[in-house]
Amino acid sequence: MVSKLYFLFVLSFIPFGFFHEGPYSGNQQGISRIKSTLPSDLISQQPDTICDLDRIMQAYRLENVKYLDTSIKVDLKYAQEDNFLHENLYGNFNHAYLQKDAAEMLVQAQKQLKSVFPHYSLVVLDAARPASIQQKMWASEKITAYEKSRFLASPDVGSLHSYGAAVDITICDGNGSYLDMGTAFDSFDELSYPSLEKTMEKEGKLTPEQLANRHLLRTVMKKAGFSPIQTEWWHFNATSRVKARTQYPLIVSHVWDENNFTAENIANVTLPRDEKRPEIEFKIQIKSSTKPISLSDPVFKGLVVKKYKYEGLYRYTTGEYKNIEDAREMKLKIWEMGFTDAFIAAFNHGKRIGIMDAIEYLNQANENGQ
């Protein structure tokens, strides 16, 4: 951990108002699933090897971030087994590609960071990601359907990664150690949610140093024009989905022959999407059963509950909330009542959807001014 004296010394050189809390170095505590240090061969300039996925990215006219700023580190987690699937999804692909304007924004973020901490660097963990890879993640049997609904965007909603307009990123110090952000990249835990940081701090689950490091990352990225999201501290969007779908082609596949590289086809390929204005609600699911249960049954301990049927089971919820923060507070109260298996379920127009999809729909609505 950075000593208090050194930290105060560094602060004296930072322009007033740049950020409210300073960063701390160190490995991520208690997190062993994802490595928290750059591989030694990635601390220096990476070899300029070209593979099929490079050619696909270049055919979509995406920019290799390294060509714009060699000081930005690249440690693609899906090009290793060091990810939540424990599977290399990218083969020997080891370059980060983005749309030109997004790549230039990332260069500006690196300059912002180095103007304050010259030995620190941004580390790209994922950048442009073909829609076929997103589909492969969703189809994997290595994670449960429940985990997918909470922490993955479904292919139907899509990701800005598949337009080259989003980046997953962290910060490393001069030794290549990642700053402690409280969780690993791609952690399937509510600790990853920026929207719940204040609550997690009050509960003692996030430390001031972890919050300070997240704040530093968000500050430099936002100053460069990126937008954070509510559920992943590492994810930043360079534009809205509405603009991306009109300005950029969808990166269809990691397989060359599955992409139709003609100007007309590339410009018009888009992900399927729900055109209706979303009506998102979060509810607390407290019970499921194979047979109907009376809503006045004592098993519900006096709670006002509603019933719906999903995947062959009768399911019972209580509460209706427009944001996940309020739903989480209610979930904790429900746990205290003895419903220890209760969890947050999301709905759009009354239809059960994944938590990540619900938040993506809310983000899209905000982008559209709805």
The CA-to-CA distance between both ends of the chain, in Å, stands at 44
Residue 169 to residue 184: CA distance in whole angstroms: 11
Evaluate whether 218 touches 227 at the Cβ level (below 8 Å). no
Evaluate whether 228 touches 218 at the Cβ level (below 8 Å). yes
Residue 115 to residue 51: CA distance in whole angstroms: 34
**What is residue 219's predicted lDDT score, i.e. its pLDDT?**
97
Query: With bands split at pLDDT 50, 70 and 90, how would you rate the model's confidence at 366?
Result: low
Q: Tell me, yes or no, if the pTM score tops 0.85.
A: no
Q: Which residue has the higher pLDDT, 149 or 8?
A: 149
Evaluate whether 177 touches 26 at the Cβ level (below 8 Å). yes
pLDDT at 285 over 60: yes
State the architecture of 280-348 in CATH terms.
2-Layer Sandwich (3.30)
Torsion sign (Cα): 171, 364, 159, 48: negative
How confident is the model over 161-192, as pLDDT tens digits? Answer: 999 999 999 999 999 999 999 999 988 888 99
Residue ranges with strand state E in 192-312: 227-228, 235-237, 280-289, 305-310
Query: With bands split at pLDDT 50, 70 and 90, how would you rate the model's confidence at 157?
Result: confident
Q: What residues does each domain of the chain span?
A: 4-268, 280-348
Q: Which residue has the higher pLDDT, 47 or 51?
A: 51
What percent of the chain clears pLDDT 70, i.e. is strictly above it?
Answer: 80
Tokens, residue 194: 């920026």
The least confident of 191-195, 303-307, 354-358 is 354-358
pLDDT at 313 over 50: yes
**What is residue 46's predicted lDDT score, i.e. its pLDDT?**
45
Shared fold status for 4-268 and 280-348:
no
pLDDT at 45 over 70: no
Q: Which residue has the higher pLDDT, 29 or 145?
A: 145
The least confident of 77-86, 213-222, 268-277 is 268-277
How confident is the model over 229-261, as pLDDT tens digits? Answer: 988 999 999 998 889 989 999 999 998 888 877
Residue 215 to residue 23: CA distance in whole angstroms: 8
**What is residue 276's predicted lDDT score, i.e. its pLDDT?**
59
**What is residue 264's predicted lDDT score, i.e. its pLDDT?**
52
Residue 343 to residue 332: CA distance in whole angstroms: 9
Q: Which residue has the higher pLDDT, 77 or 361?
A: 77
**What is residue 97's predicted lDDT score, i.e. its pLDDT?**
98
Question: Class of 4-268 per CATH?
Answer: alpha beta
